[in-house]
């Protein structure tokens, strides 16, 4: 398995010098692209799209046909794992994910088991199909939800403004939440190991909701199980450790802790100053982020100006992967994404040239 | 104007030693209390209640009849100020605040002026009526929304999941947002000065939405105007500076900056570790917070355990005001609040006795 033609992203994750700052965007394959909407319409639904490997690979490659992005990411959803546990995932149009069954009490959590990975074959097939289609152009990122973030959806039955039930259980029945995130951690480890086997070059844990917890509860229920997952992952086929990214939205104030969890790279949302983040984590990890996705709803000169500010904040040292601070918004004009990718490459090249 | 009989809260704000940790709770007068709901029903609506000084004073004192709280707070709403600017505030049942008119473009912002304080007479009357009814038992806190948080509601026309329009304007038309927060800062300064004249013993700025901004935008559009307000406030009638609290929800990672804004005390939400916060701000300010309000949906032993953990995290030094990390929830059982106040007083007394 040779290195990708463009390995700038993987080198940045390893904090090696790169000629320019690599860039990819969370949800880069998504509803802001007309060609994505066309493929999704063909599939019939988001879930049908995610469960059809040829179509999932097709949409994963769509943004790379438009923009010189430095990585591709598996097209899937973090909730495939609890779906495979039998919770009955579905998406109501415009309403986000819902589970038919919640996992919020001792009985439901007692019945829960890490799923048979055969039920998630369609994900690994989508990944290997995407890898083949990429033909070594750029690295391919596999991913999973963090054990805690999966628990959030499993307990609430969907998304939530404040995850009140999860937070209450964390104080009232910590034993139950411990058991739930432990099961999820085993499931996520097996799931990511299969993604490595299917050809993932790097892995990302999306901890979308860790930021709703108190500092102590975050360390216990979100960071600790992510640490377990990262420690247990299989190596890459070449024997090297797999590069990993951990992203806790709202985790800016816990960066010192997060930087010790075993990930190669820590993602930060747009509320964190990247220069301050770098001072706090030192040279321990690479950093990924962190343009406010709202910037992409303005116009190209504003996009270029704000992208340059992020590149400057990240500083001239190695170990920065440019990304948004959260997923790209459906209302994003595709030409603004072109302006962004161009600005990141241009500004970071110029900075390295001492311009 | 003599000092209140119980000045533990004011001494903690000034970082003077206190025999125990003072405690009050954001939204301590509110829907979790049956007597509040009865008074509100009598008034007909939340706004009618807030606009009737005798009833506003009645509900402000209700929690003090139940619990040995160390401060009272004016019963009002942060949106009285933009309402007085002519935006037409109303509350749809169960839906939160809405404005009839938004202030989201150059024309609307150009027309805006700081309101005549005569239109807010009912707030100052409610405050002086509450002060009289308190009869010096505990200090009375006045408050306002931060200039930026008011701008959020004025631009969006109500609350929002992501304040997308505000964030877009911050990047696309920073000149407009500058103008809007500057007008709000003048209005808030005048509003708080009137509250001092009406008898407020301390003041709090609620920056509920500053946390949605990037670090740079937060400093520019939220922290800087709060700094202006604090610098311009009149002294207390006795000539001493008024003690002030600034609370940016989601501002934990910016504490170093916030601690320099001129406030006596910085409020922190439940995601921040108070011990870490104290290390970051040193002895510059008092800290207020920060129990997760969800803890109050459990039962008294859990409440007592978690309250003790917050008291321990705050440490034995002076300058801690116990509070929740956000407003008390309507579903809170009143007996849990009793358990909380008792635990804070008991644990902090014991800690000072070296127990």
* 8 A C-beta contact, residue A115 and residue A84: yes
What would the two tokens of residue B92 be? 């749809």
- The answer, for A22 touching chain B at a CB cutoff of 8 Å, is no
Q: Which long-range contacts (C-beta less than 8 Å, at least 24 apart) are formed by A163-167?
A: A163/A209, A163/A212, A164/B294, A164/B297, A164/B329, A165/A104, A166/A209, A166/A212, A167/A212, A167/A213, A167/A217, A167/B292, A167/B294
CATH of the domain at A232: 3.20.20.210
A153 among known catalytic residues: yes
Q: Does B292 touch chain A (CB under 8 A)?
A: yes
Answer yes or no: B153 catalytic: yes
Q: Is B297 contained in some domain?
A: no
Nearest to A171 among B213, B273, B295 (CB): B295
User: Could you tell me the two tokens for A147?
Assistant: 């054990």
In the set A7, A15, A70, A77, the catalytic residue is A77
* pLDDT(B67) > 60: yes
* Overall number of domains in chain B: 1
pLDDT score at A355: 57
Say yes or no for a CB contact (<8 Å) between A270 and B172.
no
A294 touches chain B (CB under 8 A): yes
Name the helix (H) or strand (E) containing B179.
Answer: helix B174-198
CA-CA distance, B337 to B75, in Å (whole number)?
Answer: 19
- Residue whose entry in the numeric block shows the structure tokens 């299989």: A234
**Beta bridge pairs of residue B73:** B141
Distance from CA of A192 to the nearest CA of B (A): 29
Asked, for residue B317, whether it belongs to a domain, the answer is no
Which of B171, B253, B298 is closest, CB to CB, to A271?
Answer: B253
CA distance B37 to B58: 12
Q: Tell me if chain B has a CB within 8 Å of the CB of A58.
A: no
- Residue B326, in any domain of the structure: no
**Alpha-carbon gap, residue B282 to B273, rounded angstroms:** 14
Q: Is residue A20 within 8 angstroms of chain B, CB to CB?
A: no
pLDDT confidence of residue A2: 65
How would residue B355 be classed by pLDDT, with cut points 50, 70 and 90? low
B191-240: per-residue pLDDT in tens?
999 999 999 999 999 999 999 999 999 999 999 999 999 999 999 999 99
Task: State the residue for tokens 């088991």.
Answer: A113
Per the annotation, the verdict on B40 as an active-site residue is yes
How far apart, in whole angstroms, are the C-alpha atoms of residue B72 and residue B128?
Answer: 12
Q: Is residue B330 part of a domain?
A: no
HEC states along A14-27?
A: CCCCCCCCCECCCC
Decide if A172 touches B, using CB distance below 8 A.
yes
The 3-class secondary structure across chain A, one letter per residue, is CCCCCCCHHHHHHCCCCCCCCCECCCCCCCCCCHHHHHHHHHHCCHHHHHCCHHHHHHHHHHHHHHCCCCCEECCCCCCHHHHHHHHCEEEECCCEEEECCCCCCHHHHHHCCCCCHHHHHHHHHHHHHHHHHHCCCCCEEEEEECHHHHHHHHHHCECCCCCHHHHHHHHHCHHHHHHHHHHHHHHHHHHHHHHHHHCCCEEEEEECCHHHCCHHHHHHHHHHHHHHHHHHCCCCCCCCCCCEEEEECCCHHHHHHHCCCCCCEEECCCCCCHHHHHHHHCCCCEEEEEECHHHHHCCHHHHHHHHHHHHHHHCCCCCEEEEECCCCCCCCCHHHHHHHHHHHHHHHHHHHCCC
Q: What is the largest CA-CA distance in chain A?
A: 62
Q: Is residue B288 part of a domain?
A: no
- Cα A88 to chain centroid, rounded: 23
Whether residue B58 contacts residue B331, with contact meaning beta carbons closer than 8 Å, is answered with no
Chains A, B: CB pairs < 8 Å: 80
Asked if B323 and B26 touch (Cβ cutoff 8 Å), the reply is yes
Identify the burial level of A73 via C-beta atoms within 10 angstroms of its C-beta, where 0-12 means exposed, 13-18 middle and 19 or more buried: buried
Asked if residues A313 and A279 have their Cβ atoms less than 8 Å apart, the reply is: no
Tell me the CA distances in angstroms from A338 to A16, A297, B93, B113, one per residue in order.
26, 13, 45, 41
Q: What is the pLDDT at residue A4?
A: 85
Would you say B19 and B10 are in contact if contact means Cβ atoms under 8 Å apart? no
Residue B145: partners with Cβ closer than 8 Å, 6 or more residues away: B78, B79, B81, B153, B188, B205, B206, B207, B208
pLDDT, position A354: 78
Which helix (H) or strand (E) segment holds residue B37: the answer is helix B34-43
Q: Which residues pair with A142 in a beta bridge?
A: A203
Please list every residue in chain B whose beta carbon sits closer than 8 Å to the beta carbon of residue A216: 273, 309
The burial class, CB within 10 Å (0-12 / 13-18 / 19+), for B327 is middle
Q: Is B271 close to A253, i.e. CB distance below 8 A?
A: yes
Length of chain B: 355
Nearest chain A residue to B255 by CA distance is A253
Q: Does A308 touch chain B (CB under 8 A)?
A: no
pLDDT at A117: 98
Tell me the mean pLDDT in the region B162-171. 96
Say if B293 falls within a structural domain: no
User: How far is residue A245's CA from residue A229's CA, in Å, rounded to a whole number?
Assistant: 12
Question: Considering only CB atoms, which chain B residues are within 8 Å of A148?
Answer: none
Decide if pLDDT at B93 tops 80. Answer: no
**Per-residue tens of pLDDT for chain A, all 355 residues:** 567 899 999 999 999 999 999 999 999 999 999 999 999 999 999 999 999 999 999 999 999 999 999 999 999 999 999 999 999 999 877 778 999 999 999 999 999 999 999 999 999 999 999 999 999 999 999 999 999 999 999 999 999 989 999 999 999 999 999 999 999 999 999 999 999 999 999 999 999 999 999 999 999 999 999 999 999 999 999 999 999 999 999 999 999 999 999 999 999 999 999 999 999 999 999 999 999 999 999 999 999 999 999 999 999 889 999 999 999 999 999 999 999 999 999 999 999 987 5
Q: What count of Cα atoms within 13 Å lies in the side-chain half-sphere of residue A145?
A: 21
Active site residue B305: no
Q: Do B298 and A168 touch (CB under 8 A)?
A: yes
Taking CB atoms and an 8 Å limit, are B271 and A211 in contact across chains? yes
- Determine, yes or no, domain membership for B261: no
Structure tokens given for B324: 């929740």
In a domain, A302, yes or no: yes
Question: Tens of pLDDT along B259-318?
Answer: 999 999 999 999 999 999 999 999 999 999 999 999 999 999 999 999 999 999 999 889
Residues in B touching A306 (Cβ below 8 Å): 171
Concerning whether B284 is annotated as a catalytic residue, the answer is: no
Domain housing A287? 8-352
């Amino acid at each position: 398995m040779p290195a990708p033609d463009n390995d700038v992203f993987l080198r940045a994750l390893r904090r090696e010098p790169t000629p320019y700052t690599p860039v990819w965007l969370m949800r880069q394959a998504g509803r802001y692209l007309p060609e994505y909407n066309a493929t999704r319409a063909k599939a019939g639904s988001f879930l049908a799209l995610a469960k059809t490997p040829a179509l999932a690979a097709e949409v994963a490659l769509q943004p790379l046909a438009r923009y010189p992005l430095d990585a591709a990411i598996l097209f899937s959803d973090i909730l495939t794992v609890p779906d495979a546990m039998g919770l009955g995932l579905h998406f109501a149009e415009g309403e986000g994910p819902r589970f038919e069954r919640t996992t919020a009490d001792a009985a439901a959590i007692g019945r829960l088991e890490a799923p048979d990975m055969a039920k998630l074959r369609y994900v690994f097939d989508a990944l290997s199909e995407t890898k083949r289609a990429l033909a070594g152009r750029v690295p391919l990122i596999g991913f999973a939800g963090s054990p805690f973030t999966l628990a959030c959806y499993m307990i609430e039955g969907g998304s939530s403004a404040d995850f009140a039930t999860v937070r209450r259980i964390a104080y009232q029945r910590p034993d139950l939440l411990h058991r739930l995130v432990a099961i999820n951690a085993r499931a996520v480890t097996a799931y990511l190991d299969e993604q490595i086997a299917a050809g993932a070059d790097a892995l990302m844990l999306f901890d979308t909701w860790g930021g709703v917890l108190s500092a102590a509860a975050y360390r216990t229920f979100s960071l600790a199980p992510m640490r377990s997952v990262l420690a247990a992952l299989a190596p890459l086929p070449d024997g090297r450790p797999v590069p990993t990214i951990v992203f806790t939205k709202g985790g800016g104030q816990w960066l010192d802790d997060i930087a010790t969890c075993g990930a190669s790279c820590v993602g930060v949302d747009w509320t964190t100053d990247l220069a301050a983040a770098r001072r706090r984590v030192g040279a321990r990890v690479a950093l990924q982020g962190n343009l406010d996705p709202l910037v992409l709803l303005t116009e190209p000169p504003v996009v270029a100006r704000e992208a340059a500010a992020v590149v400057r904040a990240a500083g001239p040292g190695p170990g920065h992967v440019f990304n948004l601070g959260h997923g790209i918004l459906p209302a994003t004009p595709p030409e603004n994404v072109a302006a962004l990718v161009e600005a990141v490459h241009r500004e970071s090249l110029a900075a390295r040239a001492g311009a």
